[in-house]
A and B are shown apart, each in its own frame.
Chain A
Amino acid sequence: MAKQLAFHFNSSLCNGCKACVIACKSKNALPVDVNYRRVYEYGGGGWVADPMAPAFLTPNNIFVYSLSVACMHCENPACVDVCPAKAIEKRDDGIVVVDSDKCIGCHYCSWACPYGAPQFDPEEGTMRKCDMCADVVDEGGTPYCVSACPMRALDFGELEELRAKYGTVAEVAPLPPADITNPAFVLTPHRHSQPVGSKVGRVYDDEV
């Protein structure tokens, strides 16, 4: 099997602090609206009548959890297939990178990617995207988001090794179904995780 580097994310440890977002942002000197890594807070719940006093409503089934999402360096990357300029490439180690010298800025990759990974840099007029800190990884280092997480909720490594260690889950709500692109991603779900496709909750902070 070809080498495939991947991220692991432990949703039950994540406290939504966004240190990974900030570390990524400063490493890559990203403009205001571009975030290779984003943390989505997903939650829901409702109110039920108190059985002792039906006039009173009490909270019921309240849940919330966070997901830290970046490019999944998919095994079946939709972005690579659709890019008309062949500007996106999957390296031998599985990392998917955009070559901005080739990009025509058509946005097609951002329509096709279910993870919101390719983002348009208005200053450059081209797409930018998480490259798993390829420069650091090539030197044997660790991606900045992984190092920055105070909860140790992020990990990275060989996909098969991560799967052996953490299991094979790669989807919960509000992530897309994994069979669209086969993300190189291993997820340890939160105990309140809702199944993929579930509509019971909603994303609370989708500005990031």
Chain B
Amino acid sequence: MNPFWSNIFRKPGYEGTLAYFLGTVPPFSALGRRDLNFLETLIHLRNYHPGETIFSEGDIGSGMYIIRSGGVRIDMKDEQGQNKVQANLEAGDFFGEIALTTPMPRIGTATATEQTVLAGLFRADVLDALRKHPAIASKILLGLNRILSERLQHAGLRLHGLSYAHLEPSYEEQ
């Protein structure tokens, strides 16, 4: 479409909406605007203070979080029981997505590092959507599935690389 026309038809301020923001997150990047508007109705926005725990290791998980603004630190305990920082996440990142489909215990602790707004997507709402609007819900789940598959493949390749690492020390770097 001609940029002139697309400017006229663009709703003012759409870039600021939660729906637009969700479209920029990888699992939902393939969704259309109507689907994103629906997804927005499933989202719970939660506010966290700096240092507030979002979930602890071993909690039963019920959904994923997307960082709307602020930052989140993920810690995991090592064999000695010491907290080890695994990742520092910022706006646009997401975490906890494994728990969305099955009630699994969380494998890490998530803590807000600053004033943070999280968009939470939870199993209860996704299952409800699956019953009521199966077409859109399956699109959402397909997007998540794509991300998880990519990660699984990546992890598989890494594992493969590790098992040959003692034969060819340079394999890891390739």
- Same complex origin of A and B: no
B residues with a Cβ closer than 8 A to A are: none
A residues with a Cβ closer than 8 A to B are: none
